[in-house]
Every structure is written in C-alpha cells, then in structure tokens.
Amino acid sequence: MSSRRPSSVTIREVGPRDGFQNEPEIIPTDEKIRLINSLGRAGFKRIEVASFVRPDVLPQLADGVEVLKNIDVPGDVSLMVLIPNSKGLDNALKVREYYHEASIFVSSSETHNMKNINRTVAETMSDDKVMAKRILAEGLKLDAVIATSFGCPYEGRIPLDRVLGLAEQFAEFGATEIGFGDTTGMANPAYVADFFAAALERLPGVELTAHFHNTRGQGLANAYSALEVGVSSFGELGGCPVHAGSTGNISTEDLVSMFEEMGVDTGLDLNRVIESAREAQAFLGRKLTSHSILAGPVDWTGTLAAH
C-alpha cells in the first residue's frame, strides 16, 4: 500500500469554542470549566477554550476570560484562543498569561468571509498580518485557520489554489500551524486526499490540521482520507456534537476510536474521552449523537459472545 499514514496523531479539542458557539443556549461558565478540566484529564494536549469575538455577536462565548482564569488543566496542556480582529487581540492580550496559542482566521470564500466578519478577504488578511506580528512578539504560538476550505454554501467550489495561496500567506506571517476547516460539511474523501497531498507539498514545515464537520455524515471518511496522505493533526469536537439537524463536527471520541483501532496513537484514553462526553451530555440535558457514547469502545475480549 502506498499509504503515508502517520503512526501517531495529535487531536486538538475545539469543543469548548467551536462546539459551545453553536449551542442554542448559553452554557453556564462553571460547566464549561468543568468540561475543559475533564478534557485535560482525558489527555488532550491542546484545547481551544475561548474566542475574543464581541460578546453581543456571540453571547455563548462572552465568558472567555472567566473561563481562562478558572480552568485547571495539567501544565503541559497548550490552551488556545481564537482572535477575530485587532480589537479582539487587544482584549486577549490583557489576559495573555492564561493561554499559549492564538489563532487568526479567514474564509477562503469572499461571500462567507463577508457574512461571517463583514470584511473582504484582503482586508482580513492585512489585519491578520498585523495581528500575527503582535501575537508572535508576545511569544505566543501563532495558528491560522482557513474556513470553507473545501467548499462554500454561497460560492460553491473554492479553487484549491486560492485556499493554499492564503495558507502560504499565513505561513509567511509566521503561522506554524494552519487549520483547514470544512465549515459546512462539503468535503468528500477523494477531494480531501487531493487537497492535503497538494497542501503538504506546498507548505513544508508547517503543521497542517484537518477540521471536518459531519454535516453529511462524511466526517470520519474525510479524516481517514487525510490521515492516509500523511495528515497527523486534527481539530475535533469531543463531548458535544451539536443539536440534531445542525452542522456538528465529528465527535472526537469516534475519531479516537477509529484511529486507535487502526493502530494510530492518539495519546488519548478513549474511556476518559467518552466520560467527558457523558459529562457534557449531562449538563446539556440531552443525548449526544456520537456512536462511541452509545456503543462504548470496541471490546476485543469477546466476553459478550459468551453470554
């Protein structure tokens, strides 16, 4: 087989930000803190915990500073925050000592970018360049995220060259990691393979992260496809796939289950990840849809067959 499958992967947990942002209700701050602490115990080394968007735009994440100041995770966990603009960065830098990485972002689609943050892609990139300098000057790790990398609901196909061109600009700004988001679940496994094969070639030395939504049930297949061409970094959502009918991510526990069964080391304890998911389930007050919560980890002892 000509697989470039890595023997281990890193899974960045984005649930406390990407997940809660999409929840219909506002989750109490202490529940968020409890979940992040539990994710830290489950073995996640990178957790996205807050976003510095204006609280009137995203009230679900208005308590970011409160969350940052009160979480208690092992010392080797890298905490990440998402920064939408220079104003957000001003606010984020006031509490700079509470996190380690800052993420800047853009949509590869002009229309999606405009609808999302009300600026053109060019305006966003020039602001991102200024922010990148400030973030690096603070000694923080700089990450960048490109939304709608695999297709846009308003513009349809986004040329691969446009997405990778933006990624190259981010690399020039000093980003050591670039995440490609399938924001509305339009990717398919064949395109994902072509996409990441090209990305890995054009962006040597940059950590490339795949982030898939499971909108059309192809999230895990897309993750498998990215893995097979050599992607070893994934950003996923543990504990809280969003409510029925909306565009949830793949749940981390299902991704962990698949990778570990394939012999790919995630560094995570699946039972503990499922435990975190159950905690989230309890405070969200509804059943989550991940398969691993329902079925549990694969049991190879065959004990069930004996009954």
Task: Tell me if 18 contacts Zn ion by CB under 5 A.
Answer: yes
From 18-26, 73-81, 267-275, 276-284, span contacting Zn ion (CB under 5 A): 18-26
Q: If DSSP states are collapsed to H, E and C, what string results for 68-95?
A: HHHCCCCCCCEEEEECCCHHHHHHHHCC
Task: Tell me if 13 contacts Zn ion by CB under 5 A.
Answer: no
Strands (E), the chain: 10-13, 46-51, 78-82, 101-107, 141-147, 177-182, 207-212, 233-236
Residue type, 54: R
# chain residues binding Zn ion, by CB under 5 A: 1
The rounded Cα 175 to chain-centroid distance in angstroms is 16
Contact 44, 272 (CB under 8 A): no
Site for Zn ion in 154-183 (CB under 5 A): none
240 is catalytic: yes
Q: Which of 67, 199, 240, 288 is catalytic?
A: 240
CB of 90 to Zn ion, least distance (A): 25
Q: Which is nearer to Zn ion, 18 or 253 (CB)?
A: 18
Query: Whose CA is closest to 12, among 106, 148, 143?
Result: 143
Site for Zn ion in 31-60 (CB under 5 A): none
Q: Which is nearer to Zn ion, 8 or 21 (CB)?
A: 21
From 17-25, 128-136, 165-173, 218-226, span contacting Zn ion (CB under 5 A): 17-25
Instruction: Give the residue numbers annotated as catalytic, written as ranges.
Output: 240
Residues of this chain that interact with Zn ion (CB under 5 A) are 18
